[in-house]
Homo-oligomer: A and B are copies of this chain.
Amino acid sequence: MYTYEQLHQFATQIFIAIGHEEDLAKKASDVLISADLRGVDSHGIARLKGYVRLWEVNRINAKPNIRIVHETPSTATVDADAALGLISAPIAMKIAIDKAKQVGSGWVSVKNSNHYGIAGYHSMMALEEDMIGISMTNASPLVAPTFGKERMLGTNPISVAIPTLHQTPFVADMATTTAANGKLEILQRKNLDTPLGWVQDADGNPTTNAHGVKEGGALLPLGGDREHASHKGYILGSIVDIFSAVLSGANYGPWAPPFVSFMDPVADPVGEGLGHFFGAMRVDAFRPKEDFLRNMDTWVERFRKTAPIDTDNPVQIPGDYEREMEADRRINGIPLLAPVIADLKELGEKFGVTL
């Protein structure tokens, strides 16, 4: 078990070691370790090595000049200058929030960026301002569109955070595939099969092979097959791709640069780096704040009271799981798997940082 502070400090020192100023390194760690805290282990410190490797192949700029390159009162496009997405994303979300303060809502697309951690960190920045926050990103192509056998989209997550008065806020953070890659990795480690509807093989046949994606197959869009409306998952992933990357001028669809350093980005890019998209809407841009927040409390209370199929298994509000994980891990610490600890120790030795 490690404390939040231990992991945060370690990651910060690594980010400094690869050339970041201390304030940027700390911000990157805030985003990265929030994933470990919230139980999204696949997106936390386990990825630190991956970011360092991207830096080693000159795909991360540790001294970025992150700037607005196009704007209107309610919108902006940000050039992340090849920064860690962990750094460019909160800066872009802050621009969206500032625009919302001025004109009611703010919408920011980002190009020339990299993997931005968990989508929910950024959308949740809006909550303390009594705004609705929206966050999405495109990602390494692993997903086949309905009827296709080629990997054309990433798991392209969508996060929406909505404030409440006294109730727990509504915080959705979901991949637009049936299963996120992290879930597959768990089954791979345990040598278990997946349910049908998560993965297809290299010929496009349904498979239960948890290694199917690595063997040339693809993740399936939310819905899983045409009969269960996988075209809707394909639509959602496409919208995320277009808002994040076509709107900003990043690489879209199959051109999205891979997160792994051993795969080179495509030789004929259609844009710059990876793309994100953020939104912030002041709730009092639509009605008096208290009215909205009180109604949201009623919404949350009423949905919790939905007649359950099984009384031991009540209907949940989006964000419940992550909130419970965070409450537990702040007190009891964050568990890490042995291979992750080994990776971190190796990283530490390389850069003279102790865990």
- Could you tell me which A residues sit within 8 Å of B by CB distance? 70-77, 103-105, 107, 109, 132, 144-150, 152, 160, 162, 170, 172, 174, 176, 178-179, 195, 197, 203-204, 222-224, 227-229, 231-233, 235-236, 238-239, 241-243, 246-249, 252-254, 270-271, 281-283, 285-287, 291-292, 295-296, 298-299, 302-303, 306-310, 313-316, 318
- Having A174-B235, A247-B283, one finds 20 other A-B pairs with CB under 8 Å, namely A72-B103, A75-B105, A105-B105, A107-B281, A145-B306, A147-B314, A148-B306, A148-B307, A148-B315, A149-B306, A172-B238, A195-B228, A224-B228, A231-B318, A238-B318, A246-B296, A246-B299, A248-B286, A249-B287, A253-B302
On chain B, the residues within 8 Å of A281 by CB distance are 75, 107, 247
Q: Are B228 and A197 in contact (CB under 8 A)?
A: yes
Q: Which of A71, A227, A248, A310 has the most CB of B within 10 A?
A: A227
Shortest Cβ distance from residue A137 to the other chain B in the assembled complex, whole angstroms? 16
Could you tell me if A147 and B73 are in contact, using CB atoms closer than 8 angstroms? no
Query: Which 10 pairs show the lowest CB-CB distances between chains A and B?
Result: A72-B104, A204-B309, A148-B306, A75-B104, A150-B307, A75-B285, A73-B103, A74-B74, A172-B235, A74-B104
- Whether the pair A299, B232 counts as a contact (CB closer than 8 A) is no
Q: Write out the residue numbers on chain B whose beta carbons fall within 8 Å of the beta carbon of A239.
A: 160, 172
Task: Find the B residue at minimum CB distance from A242.
Answer: B162
Q: Is the beta-carbon distance between A254 and B302 smaller than 8 angstroms?
A: yes
Flag if A152 contacts B303 (CB, 8 Å).
yes
CB < 8 Å: which of B197, B222, B287, B291 contacts A222?
B222
Q: For the complex, what is the distance from the CA of A231 to the CA of B303, rounded to whole Å?
A: 13
Contact A286 B77 (CB under 8 A): yes
13 contacts between A and B (CB under 8 A): A70-B286, A77-B286, A148-B306, A148-B308, A148-B315, A149-B309, A160-B239, A172-B238, A178-B228, A222-B233, A231-B316, A248-B287, A249-B291
Provide the bound-state CA to CA distance between A243 and B248, in Å: 25
Task: Report chain B residues within 8 Å CB of A296.
Answer: 242, 246
- What secondary structure prevails in chain A residues at the interface with B? mixed
Say yes or no: A170 contacts B105, CB within 8 Å.
no
Contact B227 A222 (CB under 8 A): no
Which residue of B has the minimal Cβ distance to A235? B172
Closest chain B residue to A177, Cβ basis = B229
Which of B75, B170, B195, B292 contacts A238 (CB under 8 A)? B170
A223: chain B residues within 8 A (beta carbon): 178, 222-223, 228
- Checking B77, B286, B302 against A287 with a beta-carbon cut-off of 8 angstroms, the contacting residue is B77
Residues of B within 8 A of A248 (CB): 286-287
Contact (A195, B227) CB under 8 Å given A107-B281, A253-B299: yes
Q: Is the CB of B298 within 8 A of A247?
A: no
A204 and B195 CA atoms in complex are apart in Å by: 21
